[in-house]
Amino acid sequence: MTIIDGKLTAQQLRAEIAAEVAEMVAAGQAAPHLVAILVGNNGASMTYVANKEKMCGECGFRSTVLRMPEETTEEQLLAEVERLNNDPEVDGFIVQLPLPKHIDEQRVIEAISPRKDVDGFTPINVGAMVLGLECFVPATPAGILELLKRYNVPTAGKKCAVIGRSNIVGRPMSILLSQKGWDATVTLCHSRTANLAETVAEADIVIAALGIPGFVKANMVKEGATVIDVGITRVEADNARGWKVVGDVDYAEVAPKCSYITPVPGGVGPMTIISLMKNTLLAAKRRK
């Protein structure tokens, strides 16, 4: 059993990105600039955005976090998006999700210029991704593919079960893995899937992205499977901060059966962040 170390892999990628940025800057170009809009006080979102801001610094990027209050109206947020769309100093920006309930997430996403949509969430980017065209690939699926590649996990002809059909992880993951170059046979499982346990049990690669702690048990996983855990639920814990992060996979039980498995934390999370950096670097390279 090999533990796929997302933290270490992200550090390696960071060094590659930082070296490229140093070259850009030495050539007289401005460092990539990422802006994150954070609306409200969701604790997890604040942590993720702080991690992104820190990683920007470590890559040599410029970064700005726009903190907006919980009561921000949809119109105010849309105005901020429009301002960033037109700001030549900004290469890419993200609107951290989830947004407060009174704001229509889809409407906000659709207002983002596809050229600056480094999350890859706009319909233009999603369409380009589905067609296999040049696009910004959403950070979490991109990070998972990078892990599979760097650990030489074979995907061609393999059966893959993706659990969860979210727009930001499960759905794009299923599409990407089925494309030429990855060549997996993918089943996208969700809350209405019949015989989910049987489907997962046949899979060579299991990607758990449903948001239910410990959902994937040892008896659901084939001996020798590769298991990628995208879950990041905060649960109460007996430690100084009072909580810990747990994945969708019952790690203690499942790990011994796997050829490869990602831990939580330190697996997919750091790769999500570094993939966002890669997209931002790409956006900066494309600027006129």
The residues that touch ligand L34, with contacts defined as CB under 6 A, are: 47-48, 51, 94-97, 119, 139, 232, 245, 264-266, 269-270, 272-273
CB of 21 to ligand L34, least distance (A): 20
CB of 95 to ligand L34, least distance (A): 6
- Nearest residue to ligand L34 by CB is 269
What tokens does 152 get? 């030489």
Catalytically active residues, by annotation: 52, 96, 119
Residue closer to ligand L34 (CB basis): 60 or 269 = 269
Cα four-point dihedral sign 15, 17, 18, 23: positive
Residue closer to ligand L34 (CB basis): 18 or 97 = 97
CB of 17 to ligand L34, least distance (A): 17
What is the rounded distance in angstroms from the CA atom of residue 279 to the CA atom of residue 283? 6
CB of 94 to ligand L34, least distance (A): 5
What tokens does 187 get? 């089943």
Residue closer to ligand L34 (CB basis): 13 or 196 = 13
Residue closer to ligand L34 (CB basis): 225 or 273 = 273
Phi-psi region of 27 (alpha: psi -120 to 50; beta: other; left: phi over 0): alpha
CB of 48 to ligand L34, least distance (A): 4
Cα–Cα distances (Å) from 195 to 201, 202, 205, in that order, read 10, 11, 17
Residue closer to ligand L34 (CB basis): 167 or 187 = 167
Phi-psi region of 40 (alpha: psi -120 to 50; beta: other; left: phi over 0): left
Strands 159-163, 185-189: pairing is parallel
Judge contact between 25 and 53, C-beta under 8 A. no
| Closest by Cα among 209, 186, 187 to 264 | 209
Cα–Cα distances (Å) from 181 to 35, 202, 276, in that order, read 32, 22, 22
